[in-house]
Amino acid sequence: MAKKESAFAGIMRIFFNGIKLYFLNFEKFFKYMAFPVLGQIAGVTMIFFASYVFTLHVSDLTSKSPIFDNIPLVFMMLLLLTLPGFFIFCKAFWDYLIAMAALNSMASSILEGSKLEDTGMHAELIKRRAGSYIWFLMLLSLIYLVLSIPILWGLLAIAFVYLTLSFQVFALEEDKSAFDAIKTSVNLIKHNFGRTLFLLFLLWVASYWLVPGLISWGFETGNLCGFFSYPVDKYVQLLPLNDFNNLLSQAHVPYTLKSYTIAKYVVLTIVAFAVTGFALPFRCLCCTELYKELVKRNYAGKIAAEKLVQRAQSTRKAKKNIGDED
């Protein structure tokens, strides 16, 4: 008889299997996530670049033509210049939200032994339910917003664990509504809280701390951070840092903000965001496998319960027949 797998061993198996499947399908995952991740960065970059260039030249435009000495007109021009970047950011952000659900459908296919061929097909399945999906995202956002009050942070952490599989339920059980997806996630994790928490801890260490930390270290060691920080530093220098540092000095805060320090922090934050964004398929693979195992176990439990009920009914019926004979 095969030895029963421990909860710890099961989660470790899911974690390392997720790593293996992620790299086996890395090319397709990378192409699928390229615009949702890099598009957001490009959109924000275009917004700040347009505002930076406009800020540098607005005084020259005003001196050359009195028509530009008009605050509403200047504001309107700035808005028009930043609109392209804003639209790109919004499109990429929406695609990222779609990917948060569609990747679970892709992960399910991979776990069932299918090849990941058409990634767009999985995204279309979510887009067809866009209204329900938006309502689902709003429900989750409302829950997290209510629990974001500092005194409720403990409940927020617990709720995050219980709602971990809600994206998997929504993507893979199309008959369920937004509320049912959240409810089903809670029911699945109710008796598997420790296992889910352990998996989330491993995923956090790998995709939010270890890998981003290593790549950020590589950026700093290879002086890439300094290269990318230069244009950001030029923008930060436009900010009134001297006035802010004077306020810090008056408040006796022994710290001085420097433009390069802020620029370096911004660059490393963008790098960390890109890394965690491209690691989204890995997290979905692990959570989808956990979801499938819990559903299978829950289904097996229901079958066992139904068999017990049927056996009890058969026993009662047999006793009744014996009583009738007597």
Residue 321: the pLDDT is 56
Residue 5: the pLDDT is 73
pTM, to two decimals: 0.86
Q: Where are the alpha helices (DSSP H) in 71-177?
A: 71-111, 119-127, 130-146, 153-162, 166-172
Residue 137: the pLDDT is 96
Residue 318: the pLDDT is 45
Instruction: Count the Cβ atoms, other than its own, within 10 Å of residue 259.
Output: 17
Question: Is residue 219 in a domain?
Answer: yes
Tokens read off for 113:
């032994």
Distance in angstroms (rounded) separating the CA atoms of residues 312 and 4: 28
Question: Is residue 264 in a domain?
Answer: yes
Domain that holds residue 241: 7-325
Question: Is residue 92 in a domain?
Answer: yes
Q: How many helices (H) and strands (E) does the chain have?
A: 14, 0
Residue among 207, 229, 202 nearest 274 (CA): 207
Q: Where are the alpha helices (DSSP H) in 178-279?
A: 178-189, 193-204, 211-221, 224-236, 241-250, 259-278
Residue 170: the pLDDT is 95
How far out from the chain centre does Cα 166 lie? 13
First to last CA, the chain: 45
Which ranges of the chain have pLDDT less than 70? 1-4, 61, 67-70, 299-326
Question: Is residue 117 in a domain?
Answer: yes
Question: Is residue 193 in a domain?
Answer: yes
Question: Is residue 301 in a domain?
Answer: yes
Question: Is residue 1 in a domain?
Answer: no
How far out from the chain centre does Cα 60 lie? 44
Distance in angstroms (rounded) separating the CA atoms of residues 140 and 163: 8
Domain count, the chain: 1
Residues 6+ apart with CB under 8 A from 275: 207, 211, 212, 215
Distance in angstroms (rounded) separating the CA atoms of residues 76 and 302: 62
Question: Is residue 2 in a domain?
Answer: no
Residue 41: the pLDDT is 96
